[in-house]
Structure 1
Amino acid sequence: MSTLRLILADQLSATISSLTGCDKSKDIILMCEVWNEATYVKHHKKKIALLFSAMRHFAQELQENGYKVAYTKLDDAHNTGSFKSEVARLITKRPIQNIIVTHPGEYRVLEDMQNWESDFNIPVEIRSDDRFLSTPQEFEQWSKNRKQLRMEFFYREMRKKHAILMVGDEPVGGQWNYDADNRKPPKNGLQVPKPYVNEKDEITVDVIKLVSERFADHFGDLDPFYFAVTRAQALQALQLFTEQRLANYGDYQDAMVEGEPWMYHSHLSFYLNCGLLLPMECVQAAEKAYDHQQAPLNAVEGFIRQIIGWREYVRGIYWLKMPDYAQQNFFNAQRNLPEFYWTAETKMNCLRQCVLETRQNAYAHHIQRLMVLGNFALIAGLSPAQVNEWFLIVYADAYEWVELPNVSGMILFADGGYLASKPYAAGGNYINKMSDYCKNCSYKVTQKNGVDACPFNYLYWDFLARNRDKLKSNQRIAMMYRTYDRMDNDKKQAIAYDSQQLLNSLL
């Protein structure tokens, strides 16, 4: 009798807990490309190609290391289309005494797996995903008796627990957080290094052809395809980042430049979130760069905070609050997602640039997601369900555990402030300060009202006015309401009129 060990597309790590104790002589590793997972939302073509190629490469590596692998390709004649049915198909063909799987990253998958033991009448063990640096149980314990769950305090606990950038009990440099140093606007003459680009091998070429044929109606461009699809390649991408980009990551992590989608960001979330890289090795690479004086502390701390702070924190929120978290809609926002989120056909250049780059790369950096694409969704009152679906579809690093808290909590404030202390709404001035988008825009960022005014300018104030009853007690935006109250009635009416005209045009 054999143990069936299922590995999912985001669990491509040789040290994954589901492989621990594997008897290579008889245990079966099951990996499968299934239609249900590729289409429960219509994922970006590049994301599907990345995962299928990485899965096939990982399966090949497992076989070369002596594991018995049962691999189902999407176009296999007998592919049944779902994890459950593929497990069932294998059970009918081989004597299986138990099933082992690592805890999945999405609630809907876990919910299904929790029924497998009774469905199959076989013991099913769902093991903790020990690639993460904290468990959902640890996060739940940390959250108890706290009125607000602020990431900063969780992050400090993680620094202490794992002795990262610490001198005894104190943070290196005397500060926990150097975020105030990491908000420089772009300057002329920035020399942004080229991003990691991997040459396509035969496996990847075959996958791209498959995706092109089977997912032609999905969003996004397949070419150019640049992803790392093996662990060795992902490690090269990590090395390239620490050597060429990390030093400037801190200063310009919020900056946006037309024609420079990658900036100084790491682009490692693709590989972290599917398992080709592990969080701690990324942290240690950044610490090493600091120790060797290859990158300043503000850059290294900022990068590490994203991994051991924000990434672990949003995962904790997800598992703590699901399934109800997916239904949160604090502002009762109901407006449909505008078509330009797919087509990029808008006169707002900032949005146009971000959508175009998203379509081409299955990537946009965090300020593009939060303060352009997300900011508009927030102040225009777009439906959280539709915005969440869009973010899950278009980005190759998006899985529900990381996407949902970022969108519903951070971007849309749909949870009413459980995750973020205030809505991250802003007018056109912020975008103008942190980017060069406004200089090529049809609208005028300096104009506050009228047909030529930047829509972010009046929509920002309209958002505050619309939601005053729900936000008036938030001390972090009290000053903005005082500013609004000092406006004369003509100004307020102009804001309301321009906003309504713009919002009506989105229908």
Structure 2
Amino acid sequence: MTHFNTLRLILGDQLNPAHSWYKDKKTNTLYVIAELKQETSYVKHHIQKICAFFCAMENFATALNQAGFNVLHLTLNETCNDEDLPALLTRIAAQHQCNTIEYQYPDEYRLKTQLAHFANTSPLTVSGVDSEHFLLPFEEIKHRFIKDKHITMEHFYRAMRKQFNILMDSNKPHGGKWNFDSNNRNKFSAADLAQIPPPKLFNNDVSAIIARLNKHNVSYFGKAAEQLPWPTTRKQAISCLDYFCLYLLPHFGQFQDAMTEQSKHNSSLYHSRLSFALNAKLIHPLFVIKRVIAQYEQRPNDISIAQVEGFVRQILGWREYVRAIYWINMPDYATKNQLKAKNTLPPYFWHAKTKMNCMHHALCESLTTAYAHHIQRLMVIGNFCLLTAINPDDVDAWYLGVYIDAIEWVEMPNTRGMSQFADDGIIATKPYAASGNYINKMSDYCKNCHYKVKQKVGDDACPFNSLYWHFMHTHRAKLEKNPRIGMVYKNWDKQENTLQQSTLQQATYYLNNIASL
């Protein structure tokens, strides 16, 4: 058994080849990348999510080994008897006579707590370093954000634009505006649908990983894909980015909120498919941003500022923002339930068999591909959970498990905060509740639905309509003074009392029969 002075742990979402750890090939250091039962079971995961992380970990281990580093890549076959991560580290350190363990600070509270406890109780010298991935350093979060206080994302985003000199003309925003979101709300026409490029897919063989998961009785859900189509190496991630810049960026912003059932060949539409690679740290956010801006500067006739700004805002603004919200508010954030929602997820969240066409398509894409774009997540699935008062614990667990890019730092603020308004406005200044009209405006789902989007009451009335008014009615005392939604109550009060009562009765019926919708 080869002996090393130092063991360095690399977690599954720390696959950053540019980390300073790799500036020097220290012969007395052992890098450990391990599949762990612990990481498959803290929630029930989509099988493609587990496969993506395990595949990317194996590829990263191979790349480090080929670059001359001492790497120990352990599969479930080798770690199945390790109770948890500290047990694994203790065993490997003893086997190789390591006296020092180093790790990169995890981006999930449960792992940060676990490793901090291990560092305090282990007889070995255990220490952590920054993951060197995010643009806002961890130590700066407490200087920009305040626990339980709403900080406007737009203000944060503008400050980040200035700090990193992104899309700036001296001190002014490039293009004359900070935000071009109003340009980015187009619905697909038939001609638009015909122009959507095919997605950039890969053929990563994960059949051996699936066999291992089954051998060790790992519980999972979703459709398996032995040839995983997501980028799981840095080379693939850059290829995916280049494809996005060439074919998808010219229309990204224009259609970033659009949804369609006519895209079975390409459920990701004009979205980049980079979220997993970014969140696993295969590729750096600033690298992505600069590559996109370079394409814009080289092809001004093909790519407008609205397309680029919308993309940059998601990475430089929103992604950094939700991570800061997560850390400044944890661990309390994980228990927030300001609307006291307590219902459970209906069964179609696991099989997509529902008469609501929008939910069917959004759930089906999620279960089939481990992906859905942000409006499907927020304004279809999330909106439904909000209107039906699903317990945010259940919502968190489902979102964290189903999506290939879901890590708790990004998932929880998006679901418990933005989607479910359970944090009482730390992220969103109003609940993102909407009737069927919004879904009809941004998609073609309603055309072929069992329910009628224009109807509030009746056997075939769109559930989103009555459920929306039931939600607004239920939480009126909390919401009616909110300046962003006060007009809603004026519209409600103008309705005939008989219509109000029948609408609320319709919603109550749907809530009582939620499993059969």
TM-score bucket of the superposed structures, by smaller chain: over 0.9
Q: 1:164 to 1:286 in 2, by over 3 A?
A: same
Q: Is the 8 A contact 1:47 1:395 kept in 2?
A: yes
1:21-420 alignment runs, 5 A limit: 23-76=25-78, 79-144=81-146, 148-189=150-191, 190=193, 191-201=195-205, 204-211=206-213, 213-214=215-216, 217-223=219-225, 225-260=228-263, 261-293=267-299, 294-420=302-428
SS in 2 for 1:251: helix
CA contact (8 A) 1:212 1:222 kept: no
After superposition, the C-alpha distances for 1:301-350 in whole angstroms (9 at most, x for unaligned) are 10010001000000000000000000000110001111111111111000
What is the count of residue pairs matched by the alignment?
504
TM-score for both structures, normalised by structure 1: 0.96
Q: Shift of the alpha carbon at 1:256? A: 0.3
The 2-side partners of 1:262 and 1:188 are apart by 17
Query: In the alignment, which residue of structure 2 is the partner of 1:454?
Result: 462
Structure 2 Cα separation of the partners of residues 347 and 105 of structure 1: 38
| Equivalent AA in structure 2 for residue 418 of structure 1 | I
Moved more, 209-218 or 338-347: 209-218
Instruction: Please give the alpha-carbon distance, in whole angstroms, between the structure 1 residues aligned to 2:213 and 2:240.
Output: 24
CA, structure 1 residues 318+147, in 2 after alignment: closer, same or farther (shift >3 Å)? closer
Separation in 2, partners of 1:169, 1:369: 35
Deviation sequence 1:252-277 (CA, Å, 0-9, x none) = 00000104211101110010000111
Return the match for 2:450 from 438, 442, 456: 442
Within 2, Cα distance between the matches of 1:24 and 1:220?
42
Shift of 1:136: 3.1
1:89-143 CA deviation, whole Å, 9 max, x = no partner? Answer: 1121122222111110100100011112232212222112221000233232122
Deviation at residue 81 of structure 1 after TM alignment = 4.5
1:428 aligns with 2:436: yes
Q: Report the Cα offset of residue 369 of structure 1.
A: 0.2
TM-score (norm 2): 0.94
**Percent identity for Structure 1 against Structure 2:** 42
C-alpha change, 1:219 and 1:144, in structure 2 (3 Å) is: closer
Distance 1:94 1:213, change over 3 A: closer
Q: Structure 2: 5+ residue runs without aligned partners?
A: none
> Which deviations, in whole Å up to 9, do the C-alpha atoms of 1:386-442 show, x marking residues without a partner?
001000010000000000000011000001111101000000011011101011100
Give the 3-state SS of the residue equivalent to 1:176 in structure 2: coil
Aligned mates of 2:436, 2:33 — CA distance in 1:
47
Matched, 1:497 2:497: no
Secondary structure in structure 1 of the residue aligned to 2:100:
strand
What are structure 1's unaligned runs of at least 5 residues?
Answer: none
For residue 473 of structure 1, give the secondary structure of its aligned residue in structure 2. Answer: coil
- What CA distance in whole angstroms lies between the structure 2 residues aligned with 1:295 and 1:131? 28
Which SS does the other structure have where 1:305 is aligned? helix
Name the stretch that deviates more: 114-123 or 370-379. Answer: 114-123
Verify the 8 A CA contact 2:104 2:130 in the aligned structure 1: yes
One-letter code aligned to 2:278? L
SS in 1 for 2:204: coil
For 2:384 and 2:209, locate their aligned partners in 1 and report how far apart those are by CA, in whole Å.
Answer: 35
In structure 2, the CA distance between the partners of 1:29 and 1:217, relative to structure 1 (3 Å rule), is: closer
1:3 aligned residue: 6
**Contact 1:12 1:275 (C-alpha < 8 Å) held by counterparts:** yes
- Alignment partners' CA distance in 1, 2:40 and 2:184: 37
Counterpart CA distance in 1 for 2:187 and 2:370 is 24
Contact 2:259 2:442 in 1 (8 A): yes
Query: 2:330 & 2:337 partners in 1: Cα distance?
Result: 14
3-state SS of 2:6 partner: strand
Distance (Å, rounded) in 1 between the aligned partners of 2:426 and 2:106: 24
Aligned-partner Cα distance in 1 for 2:81–2:66: 24
SS in 2 for 1:95: coil
> 2:308 is matched by which residue type in structure 1?
V
Bigger mean CA offset, 377-386 vs 90-99: 90-99
Per-residue deviation, residues 226-267 of structure 1 (Å, max 9, x unmatched): 112211111111111111101110100000010421110111
Aligned residues of 1:151 and 1:313 also touching (Cα < 8 A): yes
Greater mean deviation of Cα atoms: 227-236 or 75-84: 75-84
Report the aligned-residue RMSD.
1.6
